[in-house]
């Protein structure tokens, strides 16, 4: 029995020697690795699904992949069993595919253990063969390696070049594909079974990745350049707003209160830009300019959202990532007909939405939460829509339908304009009058809710 000593504490620990079986067949396994296999009696393999696995006569952890529900659980179980084996035998060998320090989570977990001495030995990895197959110098080209299972996170903000590992099934390929809004001309190079007789290196369109590739555990991808991703654009914008907050005198003195007027102004300017799209033929030469105006105004509005989020983060409350996560989770919860097993027709959705909001916010009425500062016309519209959503039949003094000749937006506008003119002539403030009636209507709806 051979043990290792941790000299700083004078404690003798069990030892695990971690070796790599290289990226392909036995011919790429180092002589030092072969010596360790012969030297250490108790041997374990993470998996036998590797061309070099026959070199190691030992126990594998393949059974854990079949029994447990996630890779994270498998890796934790492997580490626990290895430590237990090392404790029993004093020293064990642990063989992994490729190199122990390249995309090998079990080795990362082992290195964090304080109850065992871990010795990691060098080996070739799929990365070494990839550069040769691609004719790429990773240092000159600035290549980065990312895990296919975490591509949407690890590649956020990246443009490439990227070598994507762990692309072993169609689900992973599909997740990678969907993480990028790719154009039709974007392609990806597929690397399969490098170093083996049936090695393949070929290119497919990005949008066909999960349909044209038959993946296995020796599959990786090479992407020379990615288009600008949504995550990348938002990340760059967040950095800019933070810098402006630090270095621009105007930005530095702003508060939530001082920014209120700009949020309102940008909202109205966005609405104005949207109004210019209405009733305009898509073939109109001016349509491109009008959509460009909408994009610009939405950007100005987005700046306000980021600015308020940064102010909140400075006070330790939340950041823009929390804002995005919050709306993501809220919409997920409020759409059980999309993300769950609930069937709902278009007519059912308003009531379902209001019920979800009441539960989520702990509100007693659908009228709760309507901003009191809304303009009266918008406030009245909100009140009526929410009442309709729950089937409230509160009385509303309205013109008889047969007396109404307005059939389009212009005639409705004329009717409203005439009401404002009449109120002015009678000395009545139309804004206050409408708000008062809407508030009374909201009280009628609350009574309806209590009695039903």
Q: Which of 438, 450, 445 is nearest to 394 (CA)?
A: 445
Asked if 47 and 62 count as a contact pair (C-beta separation under 8 A), the reply is yes
Pinpoint the residues of the chain covered by CATH 3.40.1010.10. 4-124
Q: Can you give the pLDDT of all 452 residues of the chain as single tens digits?
A: 344 444 455 568 999 999 999 999 899 999 999 999 999 999 999 999 899 999 999 999 999 988 888 888 999 999 999 999 999 999 999 999 999 998 899 999 999 999 999 999 999 999 999 999 999 999 998 999 998 888 877 776 677 799 999 898 998 999 888 888 777 788 999 999 999 999 999 999 998 999 999 999 899 999 998 776 666 678 788 889 999 999 999 999 999 999 999 998 999 999 899 888 876 666 777 788 888 999 999 999 999 999 999 999 999 999 998 998 888 888 888 788 777 777 777 776 766 766 666 666 666 777 777 777 777 787 777 778 777 777 775 555 555 454 555 467 778 888 888 888 888 888 888 888 888 888 888 888 888 888 77
Q: What is the chain's percent helix, strand, coil content, to nearest 5?
A: 55, 10, 35
CATH node for 128-227: 3.30.950.10
Pinpoint the residues of the chain covered by CATH 3.30.950.10. 128-227
Quickly list H helices, 90-150: 105-111, 126-134, 138-141
How many CA atoms within 13 Å lie on the side-chain side of 38?
Answer: 6
In order of 21, 148, 157, 293, the CA distances from 164 in angstroms are 20, 6, 15, 38
The mean predicted confidence, pLDDT, of the chain is 85
Helix (H, G, I), strand (E, B) or coil at 223: strand
pTM passes above 0.75: no
pLDDT of residue 407: 61
Q: Which of 345, 344, 366 is nearest to 355 (CA)?
A: 366
Asked if 53 and 24 count as a contact pair (C-beta separation under 8 A), the reply is no
The distance from CA 382 to its chain's CA centroid, rounded to whole angstroms, is: 32
pLDDT of residue 387: 78
Identify the CATH class of 233-333: mainly alpha
| Buried b or exposed e, range 17-41, using 16+ CB within 10 angstroms | bbbbbbbbbeebbbeebeebbeebe
Asked if 26 and 102 count as a contact pair (C-beta separation under 8 A), the reply is no
May I ask the CATH architecture of the domain 4-124? Answer: 3-Layer(aba) Sandwich (3.40)
Q: Which residues pair with 13 in a beta bridge?
A: 4
Pinpoint the residues of the chain covered by CATH 1.10.287.1080. 233-333
**How far is it, in rounded angstroms, from Cα 81 to Cα 77?**
6
**How far is it, in rounded angstroms, from Cα 214 to Cα 258?**
57
């Amino acid at each position: 029995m051979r043990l290792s000593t941790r000299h700083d504490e004078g404690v003798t620990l069990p030892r695990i020697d971690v070796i790599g079986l290289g990226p392909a067949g036995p011919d790429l396994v180092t002589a030092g690795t072969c010596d360790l296999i012969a030297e250490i009696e108790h041997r374990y393999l993470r998996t036998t699904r590797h061309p070099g696995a026959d070199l190691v006569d030992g126990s594998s952890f393949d059974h854990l992949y079949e029994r447990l529900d996630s890779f994270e659980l498998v890796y934790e179980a492997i580490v626990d069993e290895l430590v237990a084996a090392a404790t029993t035998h004093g020293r064990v060998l642990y063989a992994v595919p490729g190199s122990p320090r390249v995309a090998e989570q079990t080795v990362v977990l082992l290195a964090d253990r304080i109850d065992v001495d871990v010795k990691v030995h060098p080996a070739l990895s799929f990365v070494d063969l990839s550069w040769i197959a691609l004719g790429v110098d990773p240092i000159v080209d600035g290549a980065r390696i990312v895990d296919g299972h975490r591509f949407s996170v690890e590649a956020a903000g990246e443009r490439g070049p990227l070598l994507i590992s762990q692309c072993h099934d169609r689900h992973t390929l599909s997740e990678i594909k969907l993480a990028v809004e790719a154009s039709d001309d974007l392609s990806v190079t597929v690397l399969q079974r490098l170093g083996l007789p049936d090695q393949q290196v070929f290119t497919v369109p990005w949008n066909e990745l999960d349909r044209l590739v038959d993946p296995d555990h020796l599959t990786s991808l090479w992407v020379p350049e990615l288009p600008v991703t949504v995550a990348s654009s938002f990340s760059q914008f967040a950095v800019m707003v933070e810098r402006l907050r630090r270095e621009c005198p105007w930005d530095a003195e702003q508060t939530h209160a001082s920014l209120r007027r700009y949020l309102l102004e940008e909202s109205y300017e966005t609405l104005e830009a949207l109004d210019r799209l209405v009733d305009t033929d898509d073939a109109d030469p001016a349509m491109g300019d009008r959509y460009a105006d909408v994009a610009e105004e939405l950007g100005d509005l987005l700046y306000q959202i980021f600015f308020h989020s940064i102010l909140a983060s400075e006070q330790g409350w939340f950041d823009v990532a929390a804002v995005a996560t919050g709306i993501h989770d809220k919409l997920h919860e409020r759409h059980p007909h999309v993300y769950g097993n609930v069937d709902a027709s278009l007519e059912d959705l308003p009531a379902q939405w209001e019920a979800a909001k009441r539960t989520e916010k702990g509100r007693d009425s659908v009228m709760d939460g309507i901003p009191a500062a809304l303009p009266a016309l918008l406030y009245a519209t909100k009140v009526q829509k929410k009442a309709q959503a729950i089937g409230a039949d509160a009385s509303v003094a309205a013109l008889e339908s047969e007396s109404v000749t307005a059939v389009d937006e212009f005639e409705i506008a004329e009717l409203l304009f005439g009401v404002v003119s009449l109120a002015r002539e009678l000395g009545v403030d139309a804004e206050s009058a409408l708000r008062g009636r809407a508030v009374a209507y909201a009280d009628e709806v609350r009574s309806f809710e209590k009695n039903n």
